[in-house]
Every structure is written in structure tokens, then in C-alpha cells.
Structure 1
């Protein structure tokens, strides 16, 4: 993939950013960045079925699909599998039943 594949590339290719300030030097932007914590905004392509599933799940749970996707990515990075999550949930439930 190259820059020319973006349909808006030509609209912005000639802009000069040599005098641009970093976000940290623009108070309003720095404040917004601080509010976002350690998150970065990204653009990525996701299969329509995957996106629809996350959106449907978020609507059903009353949450945000982006938060659900972030959690799924976090679990992947941490090496958690669905089997691990189910196993841990069962372990917790059995422990709670034994304590009653």
C-alpha cells in the first residue's frame, strides 16, 4: 500500500508542515491527548461481519464496540484465549459456590 492509494492524498500532498507544532505545545490538543490516556487513534480495515458482530454485542450489552474491540485485542496480546477466560470464570464460580 502506498500514499497514492488514499483518495484524499492529492488534496493534502502539497501542504507544508515545517512550522507545525507538536501536540504538547498546543494546550487544547495536549489536554485532549491527556484525557485519552495511553490510547492512540488508528484507522484500520475490519471485515464487515466482524464489525457488525462487535457493534451488535456492544448494543446488546449497552457498551461501546470500540471498547470491546480494544479489550479483545488486549486479551490477544496478553495471550488470553476464550478457553482461558471460560476456565477462569468456571474456577471463580466454583470457588464462590464452595464459599456459600
Structure 2
């Protein structure tokens, strides 16, 4: 029976132990799958959560009669 590897975690790691990161590596993938909108703080304070925002905007769109169906 083979023995498992000994725990190789060190108490401390230096900068040279870390690989260099790539800035913005996943930015395009993030943007393509996300639709974020930043609300003004005054407006955001009127809504307790994202569900409330979506409900209010849905009602506004229905009232305006401009709902389109995406396929």
C-alpha cells in the first residue's frame, strides 16, 4: 500500500511562491453572462432587495404597455 503525500502546506508563503495573475482574464465572460445596473443610492434605499426592484420595474413596463417577448 502506498503512503499518501505528507501535508505540504507551509505556515507562510512569499510573493515568489505565487504565480503572476492576469488582469481582466475573465472580464469578457463575466460581461456576457451578467446584466448589472448600478442604482443611485437614493433610489436603491427604496428597495429592500433585487426582487423588489424587478417587481417594480416589471409593473412599470406593464403599465407602459411595452412588454416584448424574447425567444
TM-score bracket relative to the smaller structure: 0.3 to 0.5
Q: Which has the higher helix share?
A: 1
TM-score (norm 2): 0.41
Which structure has the larger Rg? 2
TM-score (norm 1): 0.30
